[in-house]
A and B are shown apart, each in its own frame.
Chain A
């Protein structure tokens, strides 16, 4: 029984959410999240040291809350799982230290896994059958990655990623330029509600024909950020009133357009009629709308896990470990650390090859 439906507790501390998840196989028992987002608000972005301090504070109560919600005892667990990377090194280390100690304390196996692949694994907790291969677009304040998933536990390929800012960071930075609070995503969304997305034609990063050879599936948002700032400066210099709604809507459209265009291009090029969306920026209503509409035209089925599983969480980490166990992967050794730049091809870290 434990082989196919293992009971796993997952610990996720790669950014500003302390996530503790408990799953039994593909069944979600608890998705407990303590966020330090409010503490970062006055800095306009995630401050690594603030995040790491908050993880240490939140960890123990979050584990206790998750165990209580799941109605299990820690002794019942079949394994402990933890994010080894990618993410903020100091933040990751809190989770790694805790996970190792918990596993040794309980004398249970430990699975150290990849955060990005965890985002893909979140989908299996949604309840229905998940088909592979799929293209996956993961968009958050920490990452913007386009992946080709042939198999969740053994074959994930990085097609492209951002070469500068993550999409969520771009939202935060533009919000700041427009005088809107942090986090920028929902603020830009709100400001854009009454704006005209076609009012200003902002550039689509890495989308020119000349970019297609090297950066077909990569993203860049720093040029877009500069273009928005320049547009505002020019308007101010000319004394023209700035329509914040139009700027917000046009900026958002540029981001959404490039994300969806590249994702659907990947589906087309690899002959994969499935697209999985993940990451906190998926909360952006316009991104979901455009993705669904254009995917439907292209004959691509879109999967969007519930939002609580799209943002960073421990349940996705537990789910990935449960799948690794169900497919016969041996646990990780204790000899691993936090790897802030862990490549997506390393689905499990420090695994013993059978």
Chain B
């Protein structure tokens, strides 16, 4: 399979809530054919707080059952509980577009966006993902948040033009302190996982364009990470038996500390 763009076996565009209609797996024969047995019933809770706060429930084939987000770059701890409740309640109603009472979803995995992102907010989502998983006895799948943003780029492109290529690009996010975090992607692999060729790295804001020019990557500024992409990517990683990130958040910076100064004179 080519390393860029979407081909017949490339990932199926994930329907966004507005596009989902009543369809579910029936609409996705290619994806079904690609999946081995045993992964079809996966239902994944995705959580990302690397930029805003986003919670989603998706099926392993990428169908979004529910997505509940706040773009506020602050207030993660305030928002996370209600967003979880909303997403689970919505997901219980069944695939988006279906009506009726439904029943609580039986989740199989929890996926956590590991950043990069401002630390205090980022940790809220990871802590929530781990605690939620512990409560239900589920495994946690760690997903680099930029990879999820990249997947959104590929899927958006596939929807617009199934045979078009996506040129090498960089996901660029705010890292505060006059810096950006970026990761460069070049195509998507056979498992439907974006191929990260560089990053995540930090760079001063005024140097980002030079840096990306040198890497021959088109700049794509991202201000929110959809948790549905975190969950979809986690499903693909699980199906392929791959690990996308370690247990450590992608902090990219050592903790800020001020070492104690030598004893200050107070004046005799």
Contact = CB atoms under 8 A, between A and B. Distances in A.
Contacts of A229: 263-266
12 contacts: A47-B255, A92-B77, A93-B124, A94-B124, A97-B125, A99-B131, A104-B84, A226-B266, A233-B266, A334-B81, A334-B85, A338-B77
B52 to A, nearest CB: 14
Interface stretch (B25-33, B132-140, B161-169, B218-226): B132-140
B101 interface: no
Interface of A: 42-45, 47, 49-50, 52-53, 55-56, 59-60, 63-64, 74, 89-90, 92-106, 110, 176-177, 226, 229-230, 233-234, 237, 334-338
A336 B257 CA distance: 29
A100 B135 CA distance: 11
Q: Which 10 A-B pairs have the closest CB atoms?
A: A105-B135, A334-B81, A100-B81, A101-B128, A97-B124, A49-B255, A98-B131, A101-B132, A337-B78, A44-B260
A60 B247 CA distance: 12
A56 B129 contact: no
A319 to B, nearest CB: 20
A56 B140 CA distance: 14
Interface in B241-268: 249, 251, 255-260, 263-268
B131 A101 contact: yes
Interface in B119-163: 119-121, 123-136
Interface of B: 47, 49, 75-78, 80-82, 84-85, 88, 119-121, 123-136, 249, 251, 255-260, 263-268
B76 A101 contact: no
A96 B267 CA distance: 45
A84 to B, nearest CB: 9
Given A49-B255, A56-B249, A98 B81 contact: no
Contacts of B75: 337
Contact of A53 (B49, B124, B255, B268): B255
Given A98-B128, A176-B263, A52 B123 contact: yes
Q: State the majority secondary structure of interface residues on B.
A: helix
Nearest to A95: B127
B222 to A, nearest CB: 22
The listed residue with most A CB atoms (<10 A of its CB), out of B132, B135, B251, is B135
The listed residue with most A CB atoms (<10 A of its CB), out of B125, B249, B255, B265, is B255
Contact of A101 (B121, B127, B256): B127
A337 B76 CA distance: 8
Contacts of A176: 260, 263
A100 B134 contact: no
A103 B260 CA distance: 40
A63 B131 contact: yes
A50 B257 CA distance: 8
A177 B263 contact: yes
Contacts of B264: 229
Contact of A102 (B78, B131, B267): B131
Contacts of A101: 47, 80-81, 84, 127-132, 135
A97 B263 CA distance: 39
Contacts of A53: 119, 123, 249, 251, 255
Contact of B134 (A42, A63, A92, A237): A63
A104 B78 contact: no
A187 to B, nearest CB: 15
Nearest to B254: A49
A335 to B, nearest CB: 7
B51 to A, nearest CB: 15
B260 A100 contact: no
Contacts of A52: 119-120, 123
B123 A104 contact: no
A9 B84 CA distance: 20
Nearest to B136: A105
Nearest to A93: B77
A92 B124 CA distance: 10
A277 B48 CA distance: 42
A49 B257 contact: yes
Nearest to B247: A57
B123 A105 contact: no
Contacts of A95: 127
A98 B82 contact: no
Contacts of B88: 104
A104 B76 CA distance: 16
A106 B107 CA distance: 13
A334 B82 CA distance: 6
A103 B77 contact: no
Contacts of A92: 77
Contact of A90 (B80, B119, B132, B249): B119
Given A56-B126, A97-B80, A102 B132 contact: yes
A210 to B, nearest CB: 23
Contacts of A226: 266
Nearest to A54: B255
Contacts of A44: 259-260
A334 B133 CA distance: 18
B123 A60 contact: no
Contacts of A334: 81-82, 85
A55 B249 CA distance: 12
A336 B119 contact: no
Nearest to A43: B257
Given A43-B260, A176-B263, A102 B123 contact: no
A184 to B, nearest CB: 12
Nearest to B87: A104
A194 B120 CA distance: 45
A107 B254 CA distance: 37
